[in-house]
Structure 1
Amino acid sequence: MATRRITQETFDAAVRENMEEFEMEPGEALREAVEQFESQGVNLSFIVKAVPTVPSDEKQEEPTHEVLQALESLRIGKDTDDFQDVMADINLFTENCSSGFAQRYLAAQKDAYPIILSYCKKSLAKPEAALVALSALAALTDGQPDLLDTEGQQFLLDALKKFQTDSSVTHEAVRAVRHCCLKHEQNRQDLIKGGVLPLLTGAIKLHSGCAELVKEASAALRVMTFDDDVRVTFGHAHEHARIIVLEQNGLKILIETANAHLNDTSVLSDICATLSCLAVRNEFCQDISDLGGLKLMLTLLADSYETPELVKQVLSAIKAVAGNDDVKDAVVSAGGVQLIVMAMNRHTSNASVCEQGCACLSVLALRKPNNCKAIMENGGTLAAIQSMKAHVDSANVQKQACMLLRNLVSRMKNYSQPILELGAEALIAQALQTHQDCGDVGKAALRDLGCKVELQELWTGKHGSLTN
């Protein structure tokens, strides 16, 4: 994997040298520079791989990249009193930042954030100006949440409050919030302390008919429950989920909104994904069921099983709420096992559906002999075996299938022989050989199936080295 880094200036100089010294055409010079640095193990994901051009407005004379040309125009005009004069330049900047991470990274390196924020603060007077400025901020911070500072946090909160009734402006503000909170725990905590959660749930309630805004706000709520910032030892993911559920009535709002979009699979997928993240307590799982969430999920699985993305998210949501033992039984009683197996059989070629299907059945089988019986009788084992055969290279599919097979026989040893007759032992052994992540669960499955398995004793408790 490439680990070395170079600056944009170094890359551009190499392209220019290829053109001037070796008389290459621009396209050839660019390809040669890319090949040269990649062969040296240089990571070019932060580099704009384009030939700098001379701007047409003659404000700048040196060739430079389009995103920097747009940024320079904004830098020159940042003291203007008429926002209308710079809206075209802001839109051009947004377009360039949206074209790739390298463009927005380069812009950030050239101090784009304070310039864009200055325009953002001016834009609060008019919704059309706010829409343009927020779009630029959202584009710039995508993948760069560290850019956001205290002033930026306050601006986002102010924009969400001031333009609550404007769905377009709210959408862009929520998108900026999501970008700034992804993989950034401090921004999450600061914005939640500033009151962003009622603004997000309020946006879903107020604009429940606006599909794009519902999806964006649902995704933003989901990000608030993530624990994805590697720089932080302990995040507040669980606490944030608790606030959304108990203080903001998030479960009811999401389920009611889902019922208003039964024909929009993309909205339903987003809401199911968010419900999965909120099912972090036993009582929350029960609440989702009591509010009609479980019935909705099973209905979606029955009616929309042809749509793999929705099926994957529904299975993930069922798996999450089935952490509650009473909900487990409710899923099985309502025919959930048949629906899960049907979805897995329909999408055997889709690794994500197979993974979530196996995981879902595994949770239903855990400590529930009657549920194991339902899974065996409805072809759940065969679906898992077929998934293992179809996705030999997917560690996640193999791992979840092994877990399901183990849960099926851990309390019901009479199921071992029928499972082994389907070829489970050879498939588990292959998974163990192919995927290191399957080690523990694969060996546990073989052990509980009554197969011969080598369990390595790492330490006997005696004095001496841990290794031979």
Structure 2
Amino acid sequence: MAPPPRKAQISQEAFDAAVRENVEDFEMEEGEAIADAVHTFQLQGVDLTGIITDGRGKEEHPVILAVKDLKLAVDDNAGMDRLCEALDKLRLASAGENASIAVRNGAVENAVLACKLLIDENNASYVSTAMKTLLSLLNDEQSKKDFFSSSGCDVILNFLSRHDDSSEISMLSAAVIASSASGSEMLKEEFMHLKADEKLIKILRRYVENAEVLSSACDALKALVSPDDSNVLASNAFKNARTIWKAGGVNAVLETASSNRKDPTLLVTLCATLKAMAVNEEICKSITGDNGLELTLEFVDESAKMPNKLLAKNACSLITQLALSDANKDAIVLQGGCQKLVTLASCYSEDVSVIQEVMSAIASITLRSPSNATKAVEAGAIDLAVEMMDKHPQAPGMQKQTCHMLRNLASRNPENRQCIFLSPTFVHACQLQRRILCCVARPGPGQLQLEKEMGKVDKQILSVPHQPVEEKMRKFRQEASPREGCVKHQQLGRTYVNSTPVSNTLAGKRRVDGATRQKPQHQSNTKRLRSDVRRPPPDPNRAFNGAFFFLAARLRCRERSCRARKRSHPHPARSAKTQSRPATINDRDDNTISTFTALPSDLYVYLAHTQTHRLKLCGQETT
């Protein structure tokens, strides 16, 4: 993904000049002039971060005065007491939105210089003051650039090495690493180059009983392995996670979690850190092998007994990440993970965010695993999904994860489909979220209901704006199998289309340089598309056939209508020669299929798994 566009910036002098112009030329009051200047620059897309807009001049603003005092103390080498006093004054003055003003006027560079003067000091209070000041300033992109250019990473790690016996310095150092590395790829790389991960792992193993230090160290590790810098095209977060895992970081976090099971606040941070580190199957397996899965399921039980929304969400999120490894899915089910997740969702039935994480976890556990899907259904996952979708119709995130879970339950388990889609509550909940379903067909009223639902599909097709996918679909059609008259296995979004009828407009002819010629009769008929080749009978083992052929029939009817309109109202720019020549496969109406591919991918998923009864569609029986 390309970096986001940068906003234009102006200097403080340019803003002050605009205010003076409003006062002198337009005779505005000072407050009105400032408001007009702010509004004008905002309309122009100018970033006013760090600009003084309260009317006080640059010489009178307390943040500017504090930065000047610190600069004087650093330049004059005025002593540790005065230096710390200037640092503390800057920290208090740069609280809140004033931090950006301080950064714009050189506060970070001067704070790092002050820290360098304090490296050889053994007074922990001086170092603590300097670290707190730095921590209050590192909150935007510019401050992190200044921190990097001033060699702030070296200073922090020097503090951490010299004062490793101080819990306060260790906590503040880890907090500075977390704050600066978050959202900055260059600082992540610099800290990893300086072996900051090894120092953080030592902190985890040294301060096992100090929750504040452990929380800061975990935040720092999580910042180093999170790809959260939108200004770079590729991140080294995956590489950093593997490096930290090889250095023993995952094992240290698990040991910390095992020793602090009664601290829910710390457990939330530990679960989030483990999830960020579990970037591949090897690490996921190592977490499970080091008793990490048992701990996570224990956290799920604890959050169900003693309500803790944050712990419940993070524990479920960690289970979702661990379930990305196929080897871990069976382990989760064997330890009663499905039943525990369903119980947890029942305890938090009013909290949509927790339910969403539970549904996501069950969806990951049951993906490509029929046995796990059966266990989830036995645990009550279908009843839970139907109840939650009906109870929270205005929660799209939860509805989406629930649909993914139901898809996994029904994908490879035909016995589960009727349980899901015969529930009127489920259909009603899906309709509320505009999930267009193909209802299960029954004789009589069921067939009418099917027609009604497919009418909604038609409306959905017509409401989708045209998308430029003609070339893609033309290539898609050209990959037709001559032997079977159906399109080969092709991926559309997240769904696989296995049997699409192919037009027989060629009728055994091929176009050569704008003309047509009949193919020699002695050549094999299997190498061309014949007009008498019929669509192969649908395979009863393919759940897609019923709903797909129904849609395909409607699309072909619409295609014939489009052709009729084109014949009755030909395009004026076409030549007579072009109009008279036989139609080829490339001349078919692309809008028909492009609108079909523009449908939401969830629709394909539902259509693939809702037909469990026979339908008579286009004169053929499908299963």
Give the letter aligned to residue 175 of structure 1: A
Match of 1:161 in 2: 161
Q: Which moved more, 1:281-290 or 1:358-367?
A: 281-290
| Shift, 1:418, TM fit | 1.6
Shift of 1:404: 0.9
1:355 match: 356
In the TM superposition, residue 286 of structure 1 has moved relative to its aligned partner by 2.2
Question: Which has the larger displacement, 156-165 or 89-98?
Answer: 89-98
Highest Rg: 1 or 2? 2
Matches within 5 A, 1:413-428: 413-420=414-421, 421=423, 423-428=425-430
Q: Indicate the residue corresponding to 1:321 in structure 2.
A: 322
Matched-pair contact (CA < 8 Å) for 1:15–1:51: no
Q: What SS is found at the alignment partner of 2:317?
A: helix
Residue number in structure 1 paired with 2:618? none
Alpha-carbon distance between aligned partners in 1 of 2:153 and 2:138, rounded to the nearest angstrom: 12
User: SS of the residue aligned with 2:217?
Assistant: helix
Q: Report % sequence identity.
A: 26
- 2:418 and 2:351 map into 1 onto residues whose CA distance is 28
Alpha-carbon spacing, 1:435–1:80, altered in 2? closer, same or farther (3 Å)? farther
Q: Equivalent residue of 1:304, what SS? A: helix
Please tell me whether the aligned partners of residues 66 and 86 of structure 2 are also in contact (alpha carbons under 8 angstroms): yes
Tell me how far apart the structure 2 counterparts of residues 337 and 462 of structure 1 sit (CA, whole Å): 51
Q: Which piece of structure 1 moves more, 280-289 or 361-370?
A: 280-289
Task: Tell me what 1:136 maps to.
Answer: 133
- Counting only pairs closer than 5 Å after superposition, residues 324-343 of structure 1 correspond to structure 2 as 324-343=325-344
Q: Output the CA distance in 2 between the equivalents of 1:241 and 1:49.
A: 43
Contact kept? 2:50, 2:103, Cα under 8 Å: no
**How many Å separate the matches in 1 of 2:386 and 2:545?**
14
- Residue 399 of structure 1 contacts residue 442 of structure 1 at CA under 8 Å; is this kept in 2? no
1:53 positional shift: 7.6
Q: Distance in 2 between matches of 1:42 and 1:440?
A: 39
SS of 2:158 mapped into structure 1: helix
**Who is 1:246 aligned against?**
246
Change (3 A) 1:108 1:416: same
Q: Compute the displacement of 1:37 (Å).
A: 6.2
Q: 1:90 aligns with which of 70, 76, 87?
A: 87
Match of 1:119 in 2: 114
Which moves more between the two structures, 189-198 or 38-47? Answer: 38-47
- Counterpart of 2:208? 208
| Amino acid across the alignment from 1:106 | I
| Cα distance in 1 between the residues matched to 2:179 and 2:137 | 9
Change over 3 Å in CA distance of 1:132–1:426 after alignment to 2: same
| Cα distance between partner residues in 2 of 1:215 and 1:191 | 18
Change (3 A) 1:229 1:14: same
Give the Cα–Cα distance (whole angstroms) in 2 for the partners of residues 253 and 8 of structure 1: 48
Q: Do the aligned partners of 2:67 and 2:106 also contact (CA within 8 Å) in 1?
A: no
Looking at structure 2, the residues matched to 93 and 352 of structure 1 have their Cα atoms a distance apart, in angstroms, of 40
Does structure 2 retain, via aligned residues, the 8 Å contact 1:262–1:268?
yes
Unaligned runs of 5+ in 1: 55-61
TM-score w.r.t. the length of structure 1 is 0.83
Deviation, structure 1 residue 261 = 1.8
In the TM superposition, what is the alpha-carbon distance from 1:181 to its structure 2 partner?
1.4
Kindly provide the CA deviation profile for residues 29-65 of structure 1, in whole angstroms up to 9, marking residues without a partner as x: 87787677667776656556645389xxxxxxx432x
Per the alignment, residue 193 of structure 2 pairs with 193
1:351-410 residue CA offsets vs partner (Å, 9 max, x unmatched): 332221111000111122222122222222233344444555554323322211111111
3-state SS of paired residue (1:77): helix
- Which residue identity is paired with 2:56? P
Conservation of the 8 A alpha-carbon contact between 2:390 and 2:428: no
RMSD across aligned positions (CA)? 3.8
CA separation of 1:37 and 1:189: change in aligned 2, threshold 3 A: closer
Which residues of 2 match residues 28-427 of structure 1 at below 5 A? 50-52=54-56, 62-64=59-61, 66-78=62-74, 79-100=76-97, 103-124=98-119, 125-126=121-122, 127-144=124-141, 145-147=144-146, 148-149=148-149, 151-247=151-247, 249-305=248-304, 306-389=307-390, 391-420=392-421, 421=423, 423-427=425-429
Measured in 1, the distance between the counterparts of 2:151 and 2:43 equals 43
Q: 1:186 to 1:5 in 2, by over 3 A?
A: closer
| TM-score, normalised relative to structure 2 | 0.64
SS in 1 for 2:132: helix
Give the distance between the partners of 1:11 and 1:349, measured in 2 at CA.
49
CA contact under 8 A between 2:50 and 2:104: conserved in structure 1? no
How many Å separate the matches in 2 of 1:4 and 1:422?
55
Aligned residues of 1:165 and 1:206 also touching (Cα < 8 A) = no
Alignment-mate amino acid for residue 198 of structure 2: P
Task: Call closer, same or farther: CA 1:329–1:353 in 2, change over 3 Å.
Answer: same
Q: Which moved more, 1:66-75 or 1:112-121?
A: 66-75
Q: Distance in 2 between matches of 1:449 and 1:389?
A: 29
CA contact (8 A) 1:74 1:90 kept: yes
Task: For 2:225, give the aligned amino acid.
Answer: T
CA distance in 2, matches of 1:290, 1:135: 39
Per-residue CA shift, 1:411-440, capped at 9, x if unaligned?
01221222121544454452558999xx95
* Contact persistence 1:46–1:105 (CA under 8 A): yes
- Distance in 2 between residues matched to 1:150 and 1:465, nearest whole Å: 62
The structure whose residues are more often helix, as a share, is 1
Does structure 2 retain, via aligned residues, the 8 Å contact 1:18–1:29? Answer: yes
Higher mean displacement: 83-92 or 210-219: 83-92
Contact 1:392 1:431 in 2 (8 A): no
The amino acid that maps onto 2:85 is A
**How far, CA to CA, are the matches of 1:3 and 1:431 in structure 2?**
37
Q: What is the CA–CA distance in structure 2 between the aligned matches of 1:465 and 1:114, rounded to whole Å? A: 64
CA spacing shift, 1:224–1:385, aligned 2, 3 Å: farther
Contact 2:390-2:425 within 8 A present in 1 as well:
no
Q: State the distance in 1 between where 2:99 and 2:115 align.
A: 17
The alpha-carbon distance between structure 1 residues 46 and 107, as it changes in their structure 2 partners (threshold 3 A), is closer
